[in-house]
Structure 1
Amino acid sequence: MTNATEQSPSSSWHLSDIRELAQLLTLALPATVHITEAVHQAVLSGMGFKGRDEGKTAGITGLVYQGVHKAANTLGSGINTLLTHLPPTPPLHHIPETPKRAALIATLNGVLGDKLVEQQNALATPMTLRYQGKPLDWQAMPADLPRAGRVLLLVHGLCMNDLQWQTRYQDEPVNHGDSLAKALGYVPLYLRYNSGLPIAQNGEALALLLEQLVAHWPGNLEEITIMGYSMGGLVARSACHHANSHGLGWPARLANLIFLGTPHHGAPLEHAGHWLEQLLPATAYSEPFVRLARLRSAGIKDLRHGKVIEPLDNTDSHTLRHDPRTPLPLPAGVNCFAIAATTAAKRSLLADRLIGDGLVPLRSALGQHHEARHQLHFLPAHTLIVYRTSHMALLASPQVGQQLLRWLTPS
C-alpha cells in the first residue's frame, strides 16, 4: 500500500490533467452565462420587461448578453485551439501518481464524476481493484498472491481514493486494512472508483468485478471480507444485491461485511442540498440558481437517503414527506458489523439525531429507521459507537482497530 503521507511535488497537476480540466471549463462557460442571464431576466420580468424567450433578455440587454455568449464561445474556442498547439502529453494512466494528485482527482470525481463520464473526460476514474498500490491485471496477477487466500477488500468513501485508507494517529501511520491483513492473514485489496456515479451503478460494477476476481484468482479464493467506509458501505450493500440479481457466485464466499461510518439512511449535508433544490424555485429570482444546486453528482444525490438500488418502478419520488427508497435488508448468511461515531461524550436524543460524527447521524450509521421496512437489523454485539470521534477520525481510531480485530479473529 502506498503511503499517502509521502512527499509529493509542489504541483500535483500534470499537463495532461490541465488539458482535461480546460476542456471541462469550455463546457462550463456557456452554462454559467446562461444562468447569469436567466437571473437578470427574472429581475427585469418583475419590473414588467419581457424577454426574447424564457430566461433570455431582450433589447440592449439582450444584445449585451449575445455578445457575452459569443465571447464565452470565443474563449472556449481559443482554449481548444491552444490545447491543439500544446506538446503531446502521455495518457493519464501513464502519469506517475502522487497522493496529492490522486486526492485532487478523487475530489473532482466525487463532485462531477457523472458529468466527466458523460463528456468522456479522461479524468473520470475507472473502477479498479488494487493490490500494493497498483491495479490488478487479470493477465499478469502478482506472483505473491497465495493460491488459497482470504481477501479483505476496502472500499473508500465519497471524494476519496484507496490511498486515503493510510492516515496517521499521534504521528504514527495507521491503516486498518493493512493491520488486519498482517494480524489475521488476509490479502488486502483496495477498490478505487468514481464516487460521483450513482451508487447503484458502482454497486453493479463492483459485483461484476468481484466475479472476475474469483475467476482469475491463482487457486481457490476461500473467503471475502468487505469493509466499506462511508459511501463505500453503501456501494458494498449494492454490490451484494446486484450479485444476487445476476446469479453471481462470489457472495457464497462473502463472510463479513463491515460498515464504517456508513450513512445507511442518508447524510444531512445532502438533505440540505435537496431542500435547497426544492425551495429555491419559490421565486422567479432564485429559480435559475436551482441549476447550480443540481450540478452536484448523482453519487452525492444518492446520499440524500442512502439509496443503494434503483426503485422498482425506475422513478425517484421528490416528495420530502417519506423515504422513497426500495427497501434492501442486510444480506443473509453474512456477518454484518456497523461502527458509528459521535462527537458527543455520550448518547442522547440530540447526539443521535443532530450531532452524529459531524457528517453522518448516529442512527443512520447504525441502520436505525423510523419505518420498519427500512430498519437494518444489526446484532447488538455487532455494533460499536465511538464517542468524541469525528467521521474522518474513524480511519485512524485505535478503538476501531481493536474492535475490528476482535470481531474478525476466529473463535
Structure 2
Amino acid sequence: MTTPSSRRPGRAPLADWRRHLHLSDIRGLAQLATQGTLGITELVEKVQGNVYKAVAAPLGAAGQKFVDRTAGASGVRKKGITGLVYGSVKGVTRLAGGGVDALLARVAPRPGPQASSPQREALLAALNGVLGDQLLDTANPLAIRMSLRHDGQSLPMDQAALAQRLPHATGKILLLVHGLCMNDLQWRADSPADALPGHGQDYGEGLAQELGYTPVYLHYNTGLHTSVNGGQLAALLEQLLQAWPRKVEALTLLTHSMGGLVARSAWHSAAARGMHWPSRLRHLVFLGTPHHGAPLEKVGSWVDTVLGSNPLTRPFAKIGQIRSAGITDLRYGNVLPADWQGADRFSGGPDRRPPVPLPAGVACLAVAATLGRVPAAAAAGRQFDAALGDGLVPLASALGQHAEVARCLAFPTDRQWVASGTGHIALLHSLPVYQQLRRWLA
C-alpha cells in the first residue's frame, strides 16, 4: 500500500494548477463536487433522522407519526418542512451540477493525446487510489484506464508502431508496476540528488544500461479490485508479447506495494485462461508488497465497525466507506475474485482468502523494509521494528510470512532481503535496493 510520494501536487496556487489541468479534468472535478455536496446533505439528513428516531422511541405510537419508518429512509418525513428543505437542497445541487457538466461537455476538446505533467499525474493517481471504482462507475473522465507506458506516454499494441517507439528494444522486458495512489512516473526520483548515482534516473533505466532490459511501465487505476486489475494486466501482457518487435526471451516483473498483489493476480488469471506470457516470466520481484495485508486498512475497518454500532454515529461510518475497493483489498491482501465476491467489503469479517502460492517455475524475490536498524539492540526492539516495518507494511507481510503455515509464501532465504532504515516510499529510489536487484537479476 502506498500514499503519494514527494511527487504529490502540494499546495500550488490556483494559477499554477490551471497550467496542469485539462478541461476534462475540470469536468470530472465538478462532478465530484456535486456528488460530495449530495453526500454531505444526505449524511446530515440521516444524522437528524436518527435523532428523531431516538427522541420518538419513548413516546410510542404518538412519536412514530413524526418519523419516516420506510425501509432505507433517513427518518426525516419527506412531506414535512425539514424534509422539504433537504429535498430542495439536493434538487438544486443536481440541477446545478447537471448544468455545469453539460456546459463543460460541450466545450471540451475531442478525445486525443494531450500533454500532461507530473503534478497532474500525481493528482489523478491519488484520486483514483481513493475513489477509482466510483470514478469508473460514474463514467467520470478522471478515471484512469490501464495502459503500458514509456516516458509517461502510452505504448501502442502494434508491432510496427511499437518498434518505432522503442527502436532499441531487446528480448528482455522489464515491467515496473506501481502501488496504490501512485503512477508510473513516480519510479523516477524528483531530483538528481535522489536518483541512483551512476545508474540512471530509476531502476528501469539502470537495469537497461547494465543488464540489457527494456523497461515498460504499467499505469492503472489502483482504486479497482486487485483481481480486476490483475485480469486486465494479464490480457495486456499477452498483447504486449504478441506486438513486441523482438523475440521475447525473458519477462521480469518489478513491483512495488499493491503492484505485487496485482502481478500475482495477473499470473493466476493468465494461467487459468491458458495465456502464453507466463512461460516467458523469469523473475517476479516484490518491493514492500502487503502479501497478508496492511494494518492501516484493518484500522479503517475497525473504525467502521465502531461507528456503525451506534444509531447516532452510524451515518458517519459512510465517510470511511468512501474508500475504494482497491484499498479494502489491502486489509488481508486479496488476490483472487473469490477473496471478495459475495461479501460486504466493509463488514470487517475474518480472512476468507484461500491459500495462493507463488507462481511455480518463477524466481520470486521479496524485498522488505524496516524504519529501524537491523539488528536491533534488543529482542523487544527487533519485534517492534518487525511490526512497524516500513511504516505501512510489516516485515512479515512483505516477506509472505503468516501464522497459518498453509498461507505462508515460500520465498527461499537467498531470495529475501531486508532494507534497514528505509521507508515504504524510499523503496522506489534506494541505491542499496537497486544493487540487490542487480545482483538478483544479473
- Normalising by structure 1, what TM-score? 0.92
Of stretches 326-335 and 129-138 in structure 1, the one that deviates more from structure 2 is: 129-138
Shift of 1:148: 5.0
Give the residue type in structure 2 aligned to 1:229.
H
2:88 paired residue among 70, 80, 84: 70
Matched, 1:141 2:147: no
Give the residue type in structure 2 aligned to 1:335.
A
Matched, 1:329 2:357: yes
Of stretches 46-55 and 204-213 in structure 1, the one that deviates more from structure 2 is: 46-55
Matched, 1:303 2:324: no
Q: After superposition, what is the alpha-carbon deviation per residue over 1:251-304, rounded to whole angstroms, capped at 9, x for unaligned?
A: 000000000010000011111111122222211011112222221100000000
Q: After superposition, what is the alpha-carbon deviation per residue over 1:313-335, rounded to whole angstroms, capped at 9, x for unaligned?
A: 94347776742112110000000
Q: Which residue of 1 aligns with 2:378?
A: none
Q: Which residue of 1 aligns with 2:242?
A: 215
Give the residue type in structure 1 aligned to 2:271.
N
SS of match in other structure, 2:99: helix
Q: Which residue of 2 aligns with 1:21?
A: 29
Structure 1: how far apart are the matches of 2:250 and 2:263? 16
Point out where structure 2 has 5 or more consecutive residues left out of the alignment.
Answer: 1-6, 57-62, 196-200, 376-381
Q: Which residue of 2 aligns with 1:157?
A: 179
Structure 1: how far apart are the matches of 2:115 and 2:368? 36
Q: Which residue of 2 aligns with 1:397?
A: 430
Matched, 1:372 2:391: no
Matched, 1:10 2:10: no
Structure 2: how far apart are the matches of 1:321 and 1:76? 36
Q: Which residue of 1 aligns with 2:308?
A: 281
Give the residue type in structure 2 aligned to 1:52.
D
Structure 1: how far apart are the matches of 2:112 and 2:385? 44
Of stretches 305-314 and 267-276 in structure 1, the one that deviates more from structure 2 is: 305-314
1:52 paired residue among 54, 68, 88: 68
Give the residue type in structure 1 aligned to 2:180.
L
Q: After superposition, what is the alpha-carbon deviation per residue over 1:207-232, rounded to whole angstroms, capped at 9, x for unaligned?
A: 01000111111231111000110000
Q: Which residue of 2 aligns with 1:338?
A: 366
1:82 paired residue among 54, 76, 100: 100
Structure 1: how far apart are the matches of 2:340 and 2:299? 26
Percent identity over the alignment is 42
Shift of 1:351: 1.7
Q: 1:303 to 1:255 in 2, by over 3 A?
A: same
Q: Matches of residues 127-138 of structure 1 in structure 2 within 5 Å?
A: 127-138=146-157
Aligned length: 403
SS of match in other structure, 2:162: coil
Q: Which residue of 1 aligns with 2:3?
A: none
Give the residue type in structure 1 aligned to 2:162.
M
Q: CA contact under 8 A between 1:337 and 1:383: conserved in structure 2?
A: yes
Q: CA contact under 8 A between 2:334 and 2:340: conserved in structure 1?
A: no
Structure 1: how far apart are the matches of 2:434 and 2:24? 39
Shift of 1:171: 1.6
Shift of 1:68: 3.0
Q: After superposition, what is the alpha-carbon deviation per residue over 1:148-183, rounded to whole angstroms, capped at 9, x for unaligned?
A: 510000000001100000115772434112111111
Give the residue type in structure 2 aligned to 1:282.
S
Q: 1:380 to 1:247 in 2, by over 3 A?
A: same
Structure 1: how far apart are the matches of 2:348 and 2:281? 36
SS of match in other structure, 2:53: helix
Structure 2: how far apart are the matches of 1:126 and 1:203? 13
Shift of 1:81: 1.8
Q: Which residue of 2 aligns with 1:266?
A: 293
Give the residue type in structure 1 aligned to 2:124.
I
Shift of 1:349: 1.6
Structure 2: how far apart are the matches of 1:170 and 1:96? 23
Give the residue type in structure 2 aligned to 1:117.
L
Matched, 1:356 2:377: no
Shift of 1:108: 0.6
Q: CA contact under 8 A between 1:147 and 1:221: conserved in structure 2?
A: no
Q: CA contact under 8 A between 2:27 and 2:141: conserved in structure 1?
A: no
Structure 2: how far apart are the matches of 1:227 and 1:178? 13
Give the residue type in structure 1 aligned to 2:179.
G
Shift of 1:344: 1.2
Structure 2: how far apart are the matches of 1:59 and 1:307? 42
Q: 1:216 to 1:297 in 2, by over 3 A?
A: same
Shift of 1:310: 1.8
Q: 1:109 to 1:59 in 2, by over 3 A?
A: closer
Q: CA contact under 8 A between 1:149 and 1:223: conserved in structure 2?
A: yes
Shift of 1:141: 1.3
Structure 1: how far apart are the matches of 2:354 and 2:82? 49
Shift of 1:129: 0.6
Q: Which residue of 1 aligns with 2:418?
A: 385
SS of match in other structure, 1:228: strand
Give the residue type in structure 2 aligned to 1:141.
L
Q: Which residue of 1 aligns with 2:122?
A: 103
SS of match in other structure, 1:311: helix
